[in-house]
Homo-oligomer: A and B are copies of this chain.
Amino acid sequence: MRMTSQREIILEELRNTKSHPTAEELYLKVKRRLPRISLATVYRNLEKMVELGLIQKIATSGHQSRFDGNPNFHYHIRCIHCGKVDDLPIRPIKALDNPENIELDGDLGGYKLVGFHLEFLGVCPECINKTENN
């Protein structure tokens, strides 16, 4: 992978963010430092870094995808009101840490089990406030 300033700065800005930005949010941040960068370049680079395992893509159901500069496994919680995603510092769930541990009540219909996708849902502090003040 050729190291371009675009690539470097995209990764840097993503790693410097605790939030899990969408491609567009990240594009706007990077644009401050590289005003001529295009959104397509951000998408292309994010996709490539995901393939290389440098970052994670959080393909949030139905919404814009978000990206996480931390490539290590951890859980996420998504706000059902504003769509924001944060890290959730809980212990790995034993029943799910290995496909072989999953208890079956029948067969898999011929599927080969590969893994799972688990995402927690909640209401973030900001949205709790908004709701209370209405």
CB distance A106 to B89 under 8 Å? yes
Chain B residues whose C-beta falls within 8 Å of the C-beta of A104 in the assembled complex: 89-91
CB distance B122 to A113 under 8 Å? yes
Q: Closest B residue to A112 by CB, please name it.
A: B123
Q: Closest B residue to A91 by CB, please name it.
A: B105
- In the bound complex, what is the Cα–Cα distance between A21 and B102 (angstroms)? 26
Copies of this polypeptide in the complex: 2
Chain B residues whose C-beta falls within 8 Å of the C-beta of A60 in the assembled complex: 61
- In the bound complex, what is the Cα–Cα distance between A118 and B59 (angstroms)? 13
Query: Does chain B have a CB within 8 A of A65?
Result: yes
Interface residues of A in 89-110 (CB under 8 A from B): 89-91, 93-96, 102-110
Q: Closest B residue to A124 by CB, please name it.
A: B111
Query: Does chain B have a CB within 8 A of A114?
Result: yes
Q: How many residues of A contact B (CB 8 A)?
A: 43
Query: Does chain B have a CB within 8 A of A62?
Result: yes
- In the bound complex, what is the Cα–Cα distance between A126 and B63 (angstroms)? 29
Q: Determine which of B116, B123, B128 lies in contact with A118 in the assembled complex, contact meaning CB atoms within 8 Å.
A: B116
Q: A62-B65, A95-B93, A96-B93 are in contact. Are A125 and B105 (CB under 8 A)?
A: no
- In the bound complex, what is the Cα–Cα distance between A59 and B119 (angstroms)? 13
- In the bound complex, what is the Cα–Cα distance between A77 and B104 (angstroms)? 13
